[in-house]
Structure 1
């Protein structure tokens, strides 16, 4: 099926870029941004109070939301694209270029890193959705690629809950979680059950980055009354702007065929190239699809009306 060709094909492609990244940022041990392998490979109290209103309508910033609003005509019937950009939180390359994109996208912030709070706050001030990009254990790869606060399958139930809650408490304005790496955790019913339970308790949803083609996250979410949101296409499995622009055309195809598409890119060593490819793709797609935050898509596609609540 063509669908399979649209997804990231091999986790192992990212082990080498990730190793380069570790050498470049050894002090924080955060992996390089990329496709499936890299997705594999902070609510402070003030932020939590503000988060309760996020699913309704984030406050418009100076020069933020207004510059990203697409024409309203035919928006109800247009196919929707939700771009998620992973790996914010460590001042990575491409951060400025992503924030300068002319459409709505979603900012996925890794917890406990030098710019985690800054990036999440900036995104919120620009009217963008924020997710916690939660480090989760992969089937392969080095543990240090995960970064701080990772959820591991060997943890007890209490330890998993504590890690998830700590990550949520660390990233202000988050309305959901998506996984960083995590192919092992997304196949573990016990651990995923705890993660999804915390999401449900807090009025959040979980976006399966789909680093594991046998992931049970979506089915479990649906059984628990949560929306089964998942990534469809990684944009930067090859780190060139031309490839990203090509992937954006696949995003357009899927969105037009199925009325919506969720796609993931990254800041990181090649973050500027990813941003350039996305910008090029936006120019091609803007007349045929509507770019939305992930919360808008979730509300529209799965009728998700829950509000973020304090624990």
Structure 2
């Protein structure tokens, strides 16, 4: 019995020694793994930060592309929104052909009114009474074109800072109920940082936003708007670059495709010599889109896409 008991003790001692050896071997590896975990997380964060700093896709005009929880919540919220179209109609204010037809369209439009013309105030008031958004369609100097095409109160690059400011403020005062500005012509001005800085500064002071009509593909308006904390709104498709009902209807199909693939589309048409044809083309296009997209005013788009709450005080 004593011999047997002595053997058992030896076996227990051998087992204890084996356990000690195993613990000595494994514990450093475990501790190294624990120490390595924060470094791995830091590497992941750096990768995320690098990805977050990449340029935005050309089809996405969001000012905030971060991966913060707030941005994720916003992306989820936006996915719940239907595809939407904001139609801006330019050149109101001079009793132009197609004015009545545009006002009678069965969907929301945004009415862009040129200042200092015979029906500028009348058209702005009528649009407001119909529940439509109003923009000042501000004449701005183009790279090419006749000066008489601009209309009164145009902003020119040769003007001093004070003169530019005076022109912008006067135009805003002339068009009641305006919640923003978009450019009439303006390919030269929208590429000029000094002049656009003044235009956008006035917008910010008055609680307005600027819609870049995109007559200049090298426009600085969107970038400068972001820098000032304004929504970088821009036109995506001109409806009536060719003046026919069939072409406008064809362009409306492109608007539909963009809205479905990119969630929203901003598009511009005009009253004027071919205003009735543009209105007819828009009406034709609406028929094939009304069940799959929502037609909204530009203020709704700016509010929902860029969380912009205008502080403008309307008369």
TM-score by length of 2: 0.74
Residues 249-264 of structure 1: pairs in structure 2 closer than 5 A: 249-264=253-268
Name the structure 2 match of 1:161. 165
Name the structure 2 match of 1:183. 187
Residues 140-289 of structure 1: pairs in structure 2 closer than 5 A: 140-289=144-293
Are 1:293 and 2:297 matched, yes or no? yes
Deviation of 1:77 after TM superposition, in Å, equals 2.6
Pick from 91, 94, 97 the counterpart of residue 90 of structure 1: 94
Rounded to whole Å, the distance in 2 between the matches of 1:225 and 1:119 is 30
Deviation of 1:306 after TM superposition, in Å, equals 2.5
Tell me which stretches of 4 or more aligned residues in structure 1 moved more than 3 Å: none
- Show structure 2 runs of 5+ residues with no match: 1-57, 59-77
Residues 174-229 of structure 1: CA deviation (Å, up to 9, x unaligned): 00000000000000000000000000000000000000000000000000000000
Q: Secondary structure at the match of 1:243?
A: helix
Name the structure 2 match of 1:131. 135
Q: Secondary structure at the match of 2:151?
A: coil
Rounded to whole Å, the distance in 2 between the matches of 1:124 and 1:306 is 16
Residues 262-293 of structure 1: CA deviation (Å, up to 9, x unaligned): 00000000000000000000001001100000
Name the structure 2 match of 1:308. 312
Is residue 267–residue 274 contact of structure 1 (8 Å, CA) maintained in 2? yes
Is residue 75–residue 290 contact of structure 1 (8 Å, CA) maintained in 2? no
Name the structure 2 match of 1:100. 104
Rounded to whole Å, the distance in 1 between the matches of 2:147 and 2:100 is 29
Q: Between Structure 1 and Structure 2, which shows a larger proportion of helix residues?
A: 2
Is residue 101–residue 279 contact of structure 1 (8 Å, CA) maintained in 2? yes
Rounded to whole Å, the distance in 1 between the matches of 2:305 and 2:248 is 26
Rounded to whole Å, the distance in 2 between the matches of 1:76 and 1:174 is 29
Is residue 89–residue 116 contact of structure 1 (8 Å, CA) maintained in 2? yes
Rounded to whole Å, the distance in 2 between the matches of 1:109 and 1:157 is 24
Deviation of 1:75 after TM superposition, in Å, equals 11
Is residue 80–residue 291 contact of structure 1 (8 Å, CA) maintained in 2? yes
Name the structure 2 match of 1:47. none
Rounded to whole Å, the distance in 1 between the matches of 2:220 and 2:83 is 27
Deviation of 1:253 after TM superposition, in Å, equals 0.5
Rounded to whole Å, the distance in 1 between the matches of 2:149 and 2:220 is 23
Q: Aligned residues, how many?
A: 239
Deviation of 1:309 after TM superposition, in Å, equals 4.0
Residues 39-50 of structure 1: pairs in structure 2 closer than 5 A: none
Rounded to whole Å, the distance in 1 between the matches of 2:139 and 2:210 is 13
- Show structure 1 runs of 5+ residues with no match: 5-73
Are 1:115 and 2:119 matched, yes or no? yes
Rounded to whole Å, the distance in 2 between the matches of 1:294 and 1:309 is 17
Residues 214-270 of structure 1: CA deviation (Å, up to 9, x unaligned): 000000000000000000000000100110000000000101111000000000000
Deviation of 1:76 after TM superposition, in Å, equals 4.7
